[in-house]
């Protein structure tokens, strides 16, 4: 994956993506709650990270229609973290890794549509940046998707 890295503020990027998806959220009857920590700066390809966050939001709206979606942006130990939590249909434990494979899905495409590429591309983007993307089933239903990316270090400014 070819990257065009630039200095990016993670809080700003996620807030922009959430704002651009307001019509989709409204159409899915999903209230989006965003909590974000400021000052999380990284050297990333803005478009690729935006696409990854968009994919996570689109999945939350699709599989958690009518339920709130919680988005948080935090940082710790030199990593920026974006978590997207839904209260949708959930993911069976045996599917938690398979959903990140090309053209794979945890449910029938007849029921929910899509090509099965969004999570695959999102994980490739995370890994291309030295980060990672994973999913966890939520107790009581739904899922949490976590995108983690390396933050800018002090040496970058030296």
The number of beta carbons lying within 10 Å of the beta carbon of residue 10 is 26
Sheet holding 32-36: strands in order across? 32-36, 69-76, 79-86, 143-150, 132-137
pLDDT per residue, tens digit, the chain (158 aa), is 689 999 999 999 999 999 999 999 999 999 999 999 999 999 999 999 999 999 999 999 998 999 999 999 999 999 999 999 999 887 777 777 777 776 444 444 444 445 457 888 999 999 999 999 999 987 778 999 999 999 997 544 44
State residue 156's pLDDT score: 45
- What is the CATH code of the structural domain delimited by 6-157? 3.30.565.10
pTM metric for this prediction: 0.86
Domain parsing of the chain, residue ranges: 6-157
């Amino acid at each position: 994956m070819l990257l065009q890295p630039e200095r990016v503020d993670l809080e700003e990027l996620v807030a922009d993506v959430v704002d651009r998806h307001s019509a989709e959220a409204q159409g899915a009857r999903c209230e989006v709650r965003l909590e974000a920590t400021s000052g999380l700066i990284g050297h990333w390809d803005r478009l690729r990270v935006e696409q990854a966050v968009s994919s996570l939001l689109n999945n939350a709206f699709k599989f958690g229609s009518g339920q709130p979606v919680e988005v948080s942006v935090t940082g710790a130990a030199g990593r920026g973290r974006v978590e997207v939590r839904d209260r949708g249909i959930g993911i069976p434990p045996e599917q938690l890794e398979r959903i990140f494979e090309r053209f794979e899905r945890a449910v029938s495409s007849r029921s929910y549509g899509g090509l099965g590429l969004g999570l695959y591309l999102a994980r490739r983007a995370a890994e291309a940046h030295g980060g990672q993307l994973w999913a966890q089933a939520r107790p009581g239903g739904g899922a949490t998707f976590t995108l983690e990316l390396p933050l800018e270090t002090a040496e970058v400014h030296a």
